[in-house]
Chains A and B, each alone.
Chain A
Amino acid sequence: MIPQLPDPDELRLLLPEISLITAMCAVLLVPFIQRKSVALPVVAALGGLLLATLATVANLGDYRMIFSGSLAIDHFSQFFKILLLLFSVLVVVLWGITSRKQTHAYDVPDFLCLLLGAVFGMSLMASATSLIMIFVAIESASLPSYALAGFRKHERVGSEGSLKYIIFGSASSALMVYGMSLIYGSAGTLDLFGVAGAVTTGGLTPLMAVGLAGLFVGLSFKLSAVPLHFWCPDVFQAAPIEVTTFLSVASKGAAVCLLVRVLHVFGVASMGDLGAAGLGGLSVGVAIVGAITATWGNLLALRQTNLKRLLACSSISHAGYMIMAASLIISPGRGSAQSVAGAILFYLLIYLFMNLGAFTAAAIIDQETGQDDIRGYTGLARRCPTLAVLMSLFLLSLFGMPGLGGFMGKIYLMESMTKAENTGFVLITVLLLNTLLSLYYYMRPVYYMVLVAGDERRPVFFPRGIGLAMLLGCAAVLLWTGLSPSAAGGMTQDYARMFSFTRNVVDVTDSLAASQDAGVLVIPPLHETPGR
């Protein structure tokens, strides 16, 4: 990789990130103009997010590597960025209904700045293709998330949650960086294509294997994959509900996109010949981790009574389903990579609306009744039928009820799995068994809301205004994608095209082989000075 100054066209492709950074600065500078204003920073943040969305839509047809090959701008990354940015707008709206009244006016710019910073990191995660960019993207997505998780500084649980989050997060990212240093030592390049080329030509040396293990430790922390999942329920329960919503969708979605990209690069570099490249184990390993994550998340969720904690465990298992599908990207198959990526994008789209709906409903219930324990939901069907119906709809969709979006999401995942020869059917079985397992805990809140009689004297209430509009919007999307999935499914398939690296990989491996003896480093014994 020869660093070059970016040309104007590259900067145009980076406009979404540039607008996010500009909005961050604007939000921080607002207090100098008007000290106690809440509206101004919110308008600046929303403006930045919408500008970034427009810039992403304008760049949608572009298809190239920018910044000396460290960012891939393609349909896949741009589609995820649009999802992410629109979702962040909805998170700001959700914050407006839930936490705005409790947030001091001085803290509003801080909150928005941290949120925009995390969105910036996540949008980089979707297109990162060099180790440096992966590190920077993961860190700039993580650091604001740590602070956001403990944003209510005077709550004991909040400070405990963010303490656990930053300790586990910084330890796993440190191990990831150490792994990256070993990958660099083995391959001699930070470029992901070059690394994949070195693995395919030079084989999986022990140094490279340990390095890749470190890289996947960092990735699985962001994905909350077993065994690095234990922070997830604690942090999600402790964080304010809009932050939980944000982390459960945006953070996991970005991590899934990064995993898909890393595996895709390796899959293309091996040219479908996994056995020779020593990468067959990688695909199987990712599939096993995904299956364990899905199952373990469901088992954890069975005994949860706090709704935020329950949804946190359910988000672990949903991440597990997506990891299982992502493992097939690397395996050989008749153009299966695009169909798998398309199914994952479709699942992310559905998952966004299911989780947003469920968390918004939970936030409104929490506001009206002060309950976030599902055993306190008794008699809710009588007190607020609208909310009970909508909440049940979101939970049923998370389970995968036919007719709702969640069902079609799982169907598309399974359809893409059938294209892989052997492992696909094992994965489908795991997915089906897990879906059955999850029915129990998704039905428990519904059971308490509908069937358990509550105290009849408690007041009746109705969701109002923006909250109701958001709930109805999410429900409409889930019904639409559930009843006629072809439009959204076709769109995600179209936008699942990822940067075609074949040419790049050949170039990289050729130059590596020519200059560095197939890109394998032999560590010399002591008292010998190679190089200089």
Chain B
Amino acid sequence: MHQVFNVSLTHFLLVSIVLVSAGVATILTKRNAIGILIGVELILNAAGVNFVAFNHYAWPAAYPVGEANDGVLFTLFIIVLAAAEAALALAIFLNFYNNFNTVDVDKASELRG
């Protein structure tokens, strides 16, 4: 198919910047714990996009010797650890819900001093 325009590294970086800004904004504004978790996942995925894009455009693997697919490898680790973190976070939120009947983080204010 005819290419309408070339997708370059900058396009991917723009996507990643949009994702990370959305993630930070979500973390800062949401008061629902699950909303904050979604913000964290957005930032992690922005990092994943960065890694793959940098690996493809800026530091491509030069076989048979040279740099390996480090960035792609890191993205795989991000996906796995993000899943583990999400599972644990949801378990902790559920436990918080059992005790407080809400997942509003502003209600988590009994520890002060």
B92 adjacent to A175 (CB under 8 Å): no
Q: Which residues of B contact A167 (CB under 8 A)?
A: 33, 36-37, 89, 105
Output the nearest chain A residue to B46 by Cβ-Cβ distance.
A178
- Judge if B78 is at the interface, Cβ distance under 8 Å: yes
**How far is it, in angstroms, between the C-alpha of A162 and the C-alpha of B77 when the chains are bound?**
24
Cα separation A521 to B71 with both chains bound (whole Å): 15
B47–A180 CB distance below 8 A: yes
Minimum Cβ distance to chain A for residue B6 (Å): 5
| Distance A306 CA – B89 CA, assembled complex (angstroms) | 28
Closest chain-A Cβ to B29's Cβ sits at a distance in Å of: 13
Looking at chain A's contact residues, is the secondary structure mostly helix, strand, loop, or mixed? helix
- Cβ of A188 and Cβ of B67 under 8 Å apart? yes
* Segment 488-532 of A: residues with Cβ below 8 Å from B: 515-516, 521, 523-532
Chain B residues contacting A162 (CB-CB under 8 Å) are: 92, 95-96
- Closest chain A residue to B51, Cβ basis: A181
Query: With A136-B77, A147-B92, A160-B110 in contact, is A184–B70 under 8 Å at CB?
Result: yes
Kindly provide the distance from the CB of B56 to the nearest chain A CB, expressed in whole angstroms. Answer: 7
Residue of A nearest to B36 (CB): A167
A146 within 8 A of B: yes
Q: A159-B100, A526-B8 are in contact. Are A131 and B89 (CB under 8 A)?
A: no
B43-85 contact mask (Cβ, 8 Å, vs A): 1 or 0: 1101110110011111110000111101101100110010011
Q: Tell me, yes or no, whether A384 is within 8 Å of chain B by CB.
A: no
B113 and A306 contacting across the interface, CB-CB below 8 Å: yes
B71 and A528 contacting across the interface, CB-CB below 8 Å: no
Kindly list chain B residues whose C-beta atoms are within 8 Å of the C-beta of A161: 111
Residue in A closest to B91 when the chains form the complex, CB atoms: A147
Q: Are B57 and A136 in contact (CB under 8 A)?
A: no
> A175 vs B43: C-alpha distance in the bound complex, in angstroms?
7
Tell whether, in the assembled complex, residue A146 and residue B88 are in contact, meaning their CB atoms are under 8 Å apart: yes
Q: How many residues of B contact A (CB 8 A)?
A: 60
Cβ-based interface call for A171 (8 A)? yes
Cβ-defined contact, B81 with A530, below 8 A: no
Whether the pair A181, B54 counts as a contact (CB closer than 8 A) is yes
A178 to B9, CA, bound (A): 16
Please determine whether A515 and B37 come into contact, CB atoms closer than 8 angstroms: no
- Chain B: minimal CB distance from A194 (Å): 10
Q: Does B13 contact A (CB under 8 A)?
A: yes
Q: Which of A1, A131, A146, A523 contacts B13 (CB 8 A)?
A: A523
Q: Are B40's CB and A170's CB within 8 A?
A: yes
How far does the alpha carbon of A515 sit from the alpha carbon of B67 in the complex, in Å?
10
B88 / chain A contacts, CB cutoff of 8 Å: 143, 146-147, 166
Choice from B70, B91, B98, B113 contacting A190 with Cβ under 8 Å: B70
A8 within 8 Å of B by Cβ? Answer: no
What chain A residues lie within 8 Å of B91 (beta carbons)? 147
Complex CA gap A135/B49 in Å reads 17
- Chain A residues within an 8 Å CB radius of B100: 156, 159-160
Bound form: Cα–Cα A166–B48 in Å:
21
Q: Give min CB distance, A33 to chain B, whole Å.
A: 26
CB of B99 within 8 A of CB of A174, answer no
Q: Is the CB of B111 within 8 A of A157?
A: yes
A175 to B24, CA, bound (A): 9
Expressed in whole angstroms, the Cα–Cα distance for A530 and B30 within the complex equals: 39
CB distance from A322 to the nearest CB of B (A): 24
In the assembled complex, which residues on chain A have CB atoms less than 8 Å from the CB atom of B46?
A: 178, 181
**Distance between B22 CB and nearest chain A CB, rounded to angstroms:** 12
Cβ-defined contact, A531 with B60, below 8 A: yes
Q: Which residues of B contact A237 (CB under 8 A)?
A: 111, 113
Q: Cβ of A530: which chain B residues have Cβ within 8 Å of it? A: 8-9, 57-58
Q: Check B95 against A527 for contact (C-beta < 8 Å).
A: no
With a CB–CB cut-off of 8 A, which chain A residues contact B48?
181
Q: Would you give the shortest CB distance from A528 to chain B, in whole angstroms?
A: 6
Known contacts A184-B51, A526-B8, A146 near B92 by CB under 8 Å: yes
Which 4 A-B pairs rank lowest in CB-CB distance, beginning with the nearest? A181-B50, A174-B43, A185-B54, A188-B59
Q: Which residues of B does A touch, CB under 8 Å?
A: 5-11, 13, 16, 20, 23, 27, 33, 36-37, 39-41, 43-44, 46-48, 50-51, 54-60, 65-68, 70-71, 73-74, 77-78, 81, 84-85, 88-89, 91-93, 95-96, 98-100, 105, 108, 110-111, 113
